[in-house]
Amino acid sequence: MYIRHTTMDELDSVCQIYADAQKFMQQNGNSEQWGNVHPPRDLIVCDIHAGKSFVCINDDSGNSEIAAVFYFAVENDPTYTKIDGQWLNSAPYGVVHRIARSPNGKGAGAFCLNWCYEQHQNVRIDTHKDNATMISLLNRLGYTYCGIIWIENGDKRLAFQKI
C-alpha cells in the first residue's frame, strides 16, 4: 500500500467509497455520523483542489485500486478550539477527517493513520460516539481520548490525539 494525493479523475470512485462507508456505518449502529449525505461531493472536490484529499492505493494484487480515502492537513481546525476535556498539547498538529476504506480495503485505515502520524507526529482526529470501529482502531494505534468537541452543526464528537 502507498498514499498519494487524490486526483479529480478518481472523484467517482472516492464518492463510491464514501457511499459504501455510509452503508457500513448504518449497518453497524452508527447511522447518525454521516447519514446518506456526508461528505457531500462538493466538499470532496474542494478537498482535492486544496491538496488535502489523499488515497491509499492497494497494489498487492498487481491491479492498483483505491483502498481508502481521507483528509489530512497540518492546520488549526476551528472545531478543535473548544474542548470539554483537554488536548495533550497545544503544539501545531495534523488533522484527519473523512477517513473511509473500501470494502476491499482491509488494513487500510490503520495504514492511513500511521502515514498521517509519520507526516506530523502530533495528530488530532474526532469521531462519533457510535463509531465503534473507528474508536477501536484509534485505541489500537495509541491515540488518547481527550474529550468532547462540537462540529459546525453543534453535534458532539469524541476527540483523540496522538503525540
Does the domain at 2-162 match CATH 3.40.50.300? Answer given as no
**For residue 83, with 0-12 CB atoms within 10 Å meaning exposed, 13-18 middle and 19 or more buried, which class applies?**
middle
This prediction has a pTM of 0.90
Tell me the pLDDT band of 61, cut-offs 50, 70 and 90.
low
Asked if 153 and 79 touch (Cβ cutoff 8 Å), the reply is: no
In the prediction, which pLDDT does 22 show?
83
pLDDT at 63 over 80: no
Residue predicted with more confidence, 40 or 15: 15
* Average pLDDT rounded to a whole number, residues 97-120: 93
CA 127, 18, 34, 73 torsion-angle sign: positive
In the prediction, which pLDDT does 2 show?
94
pLDDT at 35 over 60: no
Considering all CA atoms of the chain, what is the largest pairwise distance in Å, rounded to the nearest integer?
Answer: 47
Give the integer Cα–Cα distance in Å for 35 and 118. Answer: 31
99, three cell numbers: 477517513
pLDDT at 110 over 60: yes
First to last CA, the chain: 24
The answer, yes or no, to whether the previous bond of 39 is cis (omega within 30 of 0) is: yes
